Structure 1
Amino acid sequence: MTASAQGAAARTGIRRGLIEFRQQWTNREDLFAQLVFLGLVFGALLFMRGSQLPGTSFSLGSATVPGVLGAGIVFNGLSGIAGTLITDREDGTLLRAKATPHGMLGYLVGKITTFSLTQVAGIVVLLVPALILFDGLAPDGAWSLLHLLWVLALGLIATMPLGAVIGSLLRDSRMMALVMLPMAGLTAISGIFYPITALPAWLQDVGQVFPMYWLGLGMRSSLLPEEAVVAEIGQSWRLPATLGVLLAWAVLGMTLAPVVLRRMARRESGSSVAARRERALQRV
């Protein structure tokens, strides 16, 4: 594939991603579902506003905001991308993309664009009122938000390629439980919603292997005041380690994703799509 062909496919993918994103935020049903979910999350945060982070005088609600943002990146990056790939493979969308010149590249760029914009929009919708209603968030102003941006960018890069790998390996949508159950377990030991120091030392070590812990830590370091660091391991934000671990997961995902996606695309055919539809009809 020439550089000009790659560029054309990427531009097509970006346009497709922008169209899909615009549809999500202009379609009444999709918009209602997203706003209801964000409203429920924000309501839960408000209930925690009167409690305090252990060892500090800082609001537990304020301390939980970064964890909610980090968890959203992980869940959307992993299960969101994986679920979309499975659905598009089952209904023939992926096969149609494969049949067009450089269509797979355009398809992937489009999905990355859509999910990135959706994630950024969700963060903005949640974070703007949180900055108004919760004391102590983003204490350094513009610098805190710039810090948040690099953590967000790394989080997207570290999770979306892995989501594409997972979606390529699963045969159908019924297997998404194999993704959601481990993610629920990782959430429980990641300390993304509460200090990981409350867990046994061996569980802390396991949680720190995965990007969810480091995304939560990076979000907290960008949005919380310095006094909140007392609840962290070693009472440190560990920014170099956050950068290194998220980069390592990003490199792993970007190395595996193209290989796995190419193998998956080669197996796609009209007969395989028809067989999936037949299995789906039998389940109904």
Structure 2
Amino acid sequence: MTQGSREEGFAAAAGAISAHVVHTSAEGLEAGLATLPSGSPAYYALPEGGRDLPVVLVAQEIFGLHEHIRDIVRRLAKLGYFSVAPDYLIRYGDPMAAPDVDAIRAIVARAPDPETMAFFDEALAFAESRDADPKRAAITGFCWGGRIAWLYAAHRPELAACVPWYGRLDGPHTPEQPRWPIDVAGEIKVPTLGLYGGADPSIPLDLVQQMMQRLAEAGAPADIMVYDDAPHGFFADYRASYREQEAKDAWGRMLAWFRAYGVG
């Protein structure tokens, strides 16, 4: 991985691209876009010639299937995973072309959770069709994708592991998005490690603590790590919110969590 300046492929609303942005090459990988049965695109990567690989599904931020998420997919492939990120927002608008975050939020609000769960089912089936091992499958997600990761763990209890990054735990209950992670805490059967920032105003610490309490009361195989001084988006190396020390520690914890539960 190398670092550099602004590159093409990032969402316009994400703002100026940080000098800390990480670029992971596709050398030694098979990487590209696939079309799922629903017609939605998915970006995937795996080591060239790889077979019987563990799977990591990646749930994108609100900014869409932009370069940061694609880079994460390639990072995971470099570590020996078949990684795939389905675009679960594009049929409601293109977050990468949206002029601001409010426009993106309007797109996100239209995406029904049941449909999103089906897209990830399709992505996992796609990996299996390429000879990856669905019994060694995990999901990780960032920002809105962190919320999706929690929900997918409840939707698909046979997953081996789940690692949500600073996903919102509660919010407006709408017909499209009727439940939030706080609502499904008692249903979590998948070993799950939440990674959160203690200085994230969008996810108050008392809500994180409430989530932890509900998980504990349900006997869920889950834990939440809080980085006291980290803001929302502390892993987003292309943004000013990036915190290198916390990001590297959390990435290592995620990989260790995967390995501990047979994904790796």
The structure with the largest helix share of the pair is 1
Structure with higher RCO (Cα < 8 A, 6+ apart) = 1
Normalising by the residue count of structure 2, what TM-score does the alignment of the two structures yield? 0.28
Structure with larger Rg:
1
